[in-house]
Amino acid sequence: MTTTHVAAPPKPRVAAPSGMSIGDLARRPETGALIGTISVFVFFAIFGGGQFLSAGGAASWLNVAAELGIIAIPVGLLMIAGELDLSVGSVLASSSMTVAIVSGYWGAPVIVGIVAALLLGLVVGFLNGLLVTRTGVPSFIVTLATLFGLSGLTLGLSRVITGTTSVALDPGPQAKQLLGTLVAGKFEVAIFWWIAAIVVIGWLLHFSPWGNWVFAVGGDKESARTTGIPVQGVKIALFTASAFGAAVVGVIQSILYNSAQVANGQSFVFNSIIAVVIGGVLLTGGYGSVVGVVLGTLTFSIVSQGIYYTGWNSDWAALILGVLILAAVLMNNTFRRMALSYAPRMKKKG
């Protein structure tokens, strides 16, 4: 304790901002996810052969990734903020049924159906957020309740209204162009919506000041509250966003396949969480990145589609996925530990 006086603070010795080194790369949250994506791509490029690498092959996993990604990105944000959303499956089903019933069964203009479906997503998400923040019940439980409740409501209402569980829809050329066409006969237009979501949400999380709040809320809710962050508002916004993402995919699928089924979407519940976790987001919150979630989504899609290009029995696909999840999480843990223990070597005092 030699310096008890602080007349003039010593000149800060800030590390010079040099280019990305291996060390810098290793402490980014998406490094594990990048390795995962590259590994599965190389794996299936070897065993899947030329067709996997063709445009049609790329379209296979990009189309699946785009729809999953539109849900996984907001779900990832929510997980960074320390909450889960299991209700996306039912939101997807109810939104796709809404657009099909409003515009297909009742014959309203397709734009009315789309707006109604998206509004439904916003309302469900808002309610999820409100319930979680007001009651203090864990989001796992609240959104599990929404998952079941909404699926029952969708099934019940669609049977009461239409007498069936699957409704046809003729969306018309404009809606088809915008949401449900195949570019070059292969690539879903959803890919472009996914890219838009990546850019906008990536900006919000990593560049806008608001993104800092998301990390803070997930890192330590109480500390975040004492710094004046509207914790409840942030969470409600994020729940609303994840349900909105699911509603968008519901609309896209209805328009792409000209019909809606009440049973659709349930696989998105776990697939979105898998993509997010493979992408290096910490399940308990506070850590992750949009780029990571994108890579996790790609990894998941490459594995789930790549298996069909190998010619192997796809009974094994789920096994590969299970192993992949475990490997990815272990790898992500390692990289997170490296990031935590990272400290530049002390420069010699001059």
Partner 1 sequence: MSLKPALRPRWALATVAVLLLTTACNSGKPSADSSSSSDGTPAAAANAASGGTAIFVIGGKSDDPFWSKVKRGVDDAAKVVQAQGGSVTFLGPQTYDNLGPDAAKLVDSAVSQGAAAVIGPDWVPEAEDAAFKRVVQKGIPLFIYNAGGIEAANKLGALNYIGSDEYTAGKAGGEFFGKQGAKNVLCVNTVPGASNTEARCRGIADGVKATGGTSKQLPMPSSNFGNPTAVAQGIKASLLKDDTIDGVVTISTQDADSAASGIQQASAGDKVKLGTFDLDESQLNRIKDGKQLFAIDQQPYMQGYLSVSMAQGYLKYGLELPQKPLLTGPAVISKDNIDSAIAGAKAGVR
Partner 2 sequence: MVTPLLELRDVCKSFGATDVLTDISLRVHPGEVLCLLGDNGAGKSTLIKILSGVHQPTTGRIEANGEAVVFRSPRDASTHGIATVHQFGGTFPLMTIGRSFFVGAEPTKWRGPFRRFDRKFAGGIAVQEMQSLGITRVTDGDRLVGGLSGGERQALAIARAVYFGAKLLILDEPTAALGVKEAAHVLRIIMQARQKGIAVVLVTHHVTHAMTVGDHFAVLIRGALAADFRKGERSREEITDLMAGGEAMAELEAEIESYTKEGQL
Q: What is the largest CA-CA distance in the chain?
A: 83
Q: Give the integer Cα–Cα distance in Å for 316 and 17.
A: 47
State the distance between the two ends of the chain, measured CA to CA, in whole angstroms: 20
CA atoms within 13 A on the CB side of 63: 22
Q: Is 177 in the site for partner 2 (CB under 8 A)?
A: no
Q: Give the integer Cα–Cα distance in Å for 179 and 247.
A: 13
Closest residue by Cα to residue 214 from 204, 200, 228, 222: 204
The entry of partner 2, partner 1, none that residue 262 binds, CB within 5 to 8 Å by partner kind: partner 1
User: Which residues on adjacent β-strands are paired with residue 166?
Assistant: 261
Residue 195 CB partners (closer than 8 Å, separation 6+): none
Binding test (CB under 8 A) with partner 1, winner from 27, 28, 176, 186: 186
Binding test (CB under 8 A) with partner 1, winner from 174, 267, 333, 334: 267
Min dist CB 249 to partner 2, Å, is 26
Binding test (CB under 8 A) with partner 1, winner from 305, 324, 331, 332: 305
Q: Residue 305: helix, strand or coil by DSSP?
A: helix
Q: Is 9 in the site for partner 2 (CB under 8 A)?
A: yes
Q: Residue 286: helix, strand or coil by DSSP?
A: coil
Q: Quick one: 45 or 339, whose CB is closer to partner 2?
A: 339
Kindly list the residues in this chain that would bind partner 1 in the complex (CB under 8 A). 48-49, 51, 54, 56-57, 59-61, 63-64, 67, 89, 93, 148, 151, 155, 159, 163-166, 168, 182, 185-186, 188, 253, 256-259, 261-268, 270-271, 304-305, 308-311, 313-315, 317-318, 321
Kindly list the residues in this chain that would bind partner 2 in the complex (CB under 8 A). 1, 3-6, 9-10, 12-15, 17, 27, 203, 207-209, 211-213, 215-216, 219-220, 222-229, 282, 286-287, 336, 339-344, 346-347
